[in-house]
Amino acid sequence: MSQTLAELVQALSMTKYSENVFVGKPIDLGLRQLYGGLIFAQAISAVIQYADMTLSIEKQLHYATASFINAGQVDSPIYYEIAPLRVGKSFSVMEVKVIQNGIQLISMQASFHIPEHGFSHQQSKLTDIAAPETLENEFELAKKLSHLIPEPIRMHWTTEPAFEVRPEVPLNPFYGKPAQAIHKAWFKLNGQVLNLSPFLRYALIAYHSDHNLLPATLKPHGKGFLEKDMQVATLNHAIWFHNDIILDDWLAYIITSPIANNALALVRGEIFDRMGKLIATTQQEGLIRQHPRTKNVT
């Protein structure tokens, strides 16, 4: 297991602070602000653990949506305050308020559903993506370009990551090239985690679900999300879980952006296993604002 994966698993395990509050540790990835996928994943980890402790009937998380209100910092603990909104026979809905230094970072709602038999169909198909064995590792590509990575974030980007990612067409965050608003990649855990608990399975998928979502919306415009004149931020993020989460093999993440307008972009993602079963669906809206190059954007 990579050290980064071990640190992520520890960060997603959370600590119970009080009856309905959990505390999480931030991870510095060298970005301009705390990675939103980490906050989202910690919120999911916390609400699943809380549900396991409080719901009398076993229910599974099937949907979570979060509004991002303020950016997080890497130097302070994050508190996840959970409150039940509805506890029914089939569904239970929880609210999670994420607080850091007295400031609310996100507001999330999570819905749990009791497993039951019903109609089943899948329209989405896993097609037109090269096998992972034929693609290069994103981490190895980053090491080859390390001389182009700015010094403040070079160490983070050339450290073995928590997930091994193999994109069909790699993204360059510092220098984009015009292309279709679609991004395809395989991913899997960078190492083996023994006895993965249910909350960790959901949280790990949620963590990676934010990877390269908004950058895909910039492809038609030939921009990278870390170019100096770009301001890119997640406004809301949602995930639906459809099938059991298996993390010991490659998963395909197919990302498309149907529209961008008024400095806002909508992006959707589908996560499949190698057999083509749809595991999860994601959707995100974000800010993609270009500033004049004469401006110093931070």
Question: For position 260, which CATH number holds?
Answer: 2.40.160.210
Q: Among 4, 49, 282, 284, which one carries the catalytic annotation?
A: 284
Instruction: Characterize 161-179 residue by residue with b for buried, 16 or more Cβ atoms within 10 angstroms of its Cβ, and e for exposed.
Output: bbbbbbbbebbebeebeee
In the block, tokens 């608003």 appear at: 181
Report the SS3 class of residue 295. Answer: coil
Residue-level pLDDT at 296: 44
Q: How many residues does the chain have?
A: 298
Structural domains counted in the chain: 1
168 in a structural domain: yes
Residue 193 domain flag: yes
- Catalytic residue of the set 4, 100, 234, 282: 234
Phi-psi region of 236 (alpha: psi -120 to 50; beta: other; left: phi over 0): beta
Q: Say if 63 falls within a structural domain.
A: yes
Q: Which domain holds residue 147?
A: 3-115+131-290
Please check whether residue 192 lies inside any domain of the structure.
yes
Q: Residue 222: what pLDDT?
A: 94
pLDDT of residue 72: 92
Dihedral Cα 146, 149, 150, 155, nearest 10 deg: -50
Catalytic residue, from 100, 210, 217, 282: name it.
Answer: 210
Tokens of 293: 């190059």
Based on the residue annotation, tell me whether 234 is a catalytic residue of this protein: yes
pLDDT of residue 49: 96
**What's the pLDDT score for residue 298?**
39
Instruction: Look up 158 and say whether it is catalytic.
Output: no
Calculate the CA 20 to chain-centre distance. 24
Q: Is 134 a catalytic residue?
A: no
**Is the residue at 146 inside a domain?**
yes
The two structure tokens encoding residue 276:
């083509």
Do the domain assignments include residue 62? Answer: yes
The predicted pLDDT at position 293 comes to 65
Between CA 56 and CA 79 the distance in angstroms is 25
Instruction: List the pLDDT tens digit at each of the 298 positions of the chain.
Output: 788 999 999 999 999 999 999 999 999 887 767 899 999 999 999 999 999 999 988 999 999 999 999 999 988 999 999 999 999 999 999 999 999 999 999 999 999 999 999 999 999 999 899 999 999 999 888 777 777 677 767 777 678 889 999 999 998 888 889 999 999 999 999 998 888 898 999 999 999 999 999 999 999 999 998 888 999 999 999 999 999 998 989 999 999 999 999 999 999 999 999 999 999 999 999 999 999 864 444 3
Dihedral pair phi/psi, residue 294, rounded to 5°:
-75, -15
Closest CA to 44 of 199, 212, 165: 199
Tell me if 27 is assigned to some domain: yes
In a domain, 13, yes or no: yes
Do residues 258 and 268 lie in contact, with contact meaning Cβ atoms separated by under 8 Å? yes
Give the separation between CA 92 and CA 71, rounded to whole angstroms. Answer: 29
Nearest CA among 251, 261, 268 for reference residue 166:
251
